[in-house]
């Protein structure tokens, strides 16, 4: 796990309240990732079944039970990092962001539901790798959780990145069941991106709203109307895990955070929990999707 000495660690709202930010140097991130990857390769752990969720069928089930190939494991570890970051982001929006208390109940429910869904994604991926995320604390831009525009810009940027990363999984996973699962998670990340853009118009005047445009991963200010402004999901032209790691690096490493102009005085800790999805019809069920 990454540690950040001389950095204030932010704990859940019931213990403390504050804001954070940081960036990661590409070199140190890949050094850490290489160490993690080497350890995982040696471990060679297979899929860990959790509840009835992993009841795959046929030849693909046999392949799943025999363990992950190195490329699959690398993608899943990257996804774990992303989901840990997502859970931490939603948790602190709910607990710390002033605008959260002033938006309508349906917007609040979206953010609460998204947190549960991201945690469910993390738990599934962790069950497959048998390993926790190699990073468990995160940095953010200045003003994150204090300024609604910064919060929503960052949230949409992250959801853009998660969509592109899971599309990379669709492209590169070795087995149909993993590609299908990646597509299923990507669809939920797309829901989150759209709903985050819906929230913009509901931000109260006292919190700097209404927010009429949001800047995502491509660095372009886009109108929130319509919130579902994609005909096709954006790949960000990502074809390698290097691009995913580069995008995540400012959030997971203090040196890179500093280089990116993030707030490095505080780090927010990822706290796993048992998720409760809002509807059993939308639960995982199996890698085969049935």
Backbone angles phi, psi at 233, to 5 degrees: -65, 145
Radius of gyration of the chain (CA): 18
DSSP H/E element including 214: strand 213-215
Nearest partner of 88 among 106, 127, 107, 114, judged by Cα: 114
Query: Which pLDDT score, from 0 to 100, does residue 290 have?
Result: 87
Q: 42: number of CA atoms within 13 Å, CB side?
A: 5
Query: Residue 44, SS3?
Result: coil
Nearest partner of 173 among 91, 78, 282, 83, judged by Cα: 78
What ranges do the domains of the chain cover? 21-40+67-282
The whole-model pTM stands at 0.81
| Per-residue model confidence as pLDDT tens for the chain (290 residues) | 544 333 443 434 333 333 323 333 333 333 443 333 333 332 222 222 222 232 233 334 434 434 789 999 999 999 999 999 999 999 999 999 999 999 999 999 999 999 999 999 999 999 999 999 999 999 999 999 999 999 999 999 999 999 999 999 999 999 999 999 999 999 999 999 999 999 999 999 999 999 999 999 999 999 999 999 999 999 999 999 999 999 999 999 999 999 999 999 999 999 999 999 999 999 999 999 98
Q: How far apart are CA 47 and CA 213, in angstroms?
A: 42
Peptide bond into 212 cis (omega under 30): no
Query: Residue 36, SS3?
Result: helix
DSSP H/E element including 34: helix 26-43
| Cα-Cα-Cα-Cα dihedral sign, residues 140, 145, 146, 151 | positive
Nearest partner of 241 among 188, 139, 171, 192, judged by Cα: 171
pLDDT digits over 208-226, tens only?
A: 999 999 999 999 999 999 9
Peptide bond into 210 cis (omega under 30): yes
Helix orientation angle between 148-172 and 176-202, rounded to the nearest 10 degrees: 160
């Amino acid at each position: 796990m990454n540690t950040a000495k001389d950095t204030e660690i932010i704990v859940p709202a019931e213990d403390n309240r504050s804001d954070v930010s940081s960036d990661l140097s590409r070199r140190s991130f890949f050094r850490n990732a290489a160490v993690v990857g080497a350890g995982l390769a040696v471990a060679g752990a297979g899929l860990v079944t959790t509840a009835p969720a992993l009841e795959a069928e046929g030849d693909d089930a046999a392949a799943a039970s025999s363990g992950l190939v190195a490329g699959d494991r690398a993608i899943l570890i990257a996804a774990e990092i992303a989901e840990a970051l997502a859970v931490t982001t939603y948790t602190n929006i709910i607990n710390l962001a002033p605008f959260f208390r002033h938006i309508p109940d349906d917007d609040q429910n979206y953010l609460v539901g998204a947190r549960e869904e991201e945690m469910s994604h993390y738990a599934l991926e962790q069950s497959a790798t048998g390993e926790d995320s190699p990073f468990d604390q995160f940095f953010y831009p200045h003003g994150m959780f204090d300024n609604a525009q910064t919060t929503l810009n960052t949230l949409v940027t992250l959801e853009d990145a998660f969509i592109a990363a899971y599309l990379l999984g669709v492209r590169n996973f070795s087995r149909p069941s993993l590609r299908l699962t990646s597509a299923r998670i990507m669809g939920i990340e797309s829901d989150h991106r759209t709903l985050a853009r819906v929230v913009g118009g509901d931000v109260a005047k006292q919190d700097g709203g209404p927010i009429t445009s949001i800047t995502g991963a491509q660095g372009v200010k886009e109108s929130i109307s319509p919130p579902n402004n994609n005909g096709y999901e954006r790949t960000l032209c990502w074809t390698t895990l290097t691009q995913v790691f580069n995008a995540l690096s400012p959030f997971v490493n203090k040196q890179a955070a500093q280089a990116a102009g993030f707030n490095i005085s505080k780090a927010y800790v990822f706290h796993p929990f048992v998720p409760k999805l809002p509807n059993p019809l939308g639960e995982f069920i199996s890698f085969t999707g049935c």
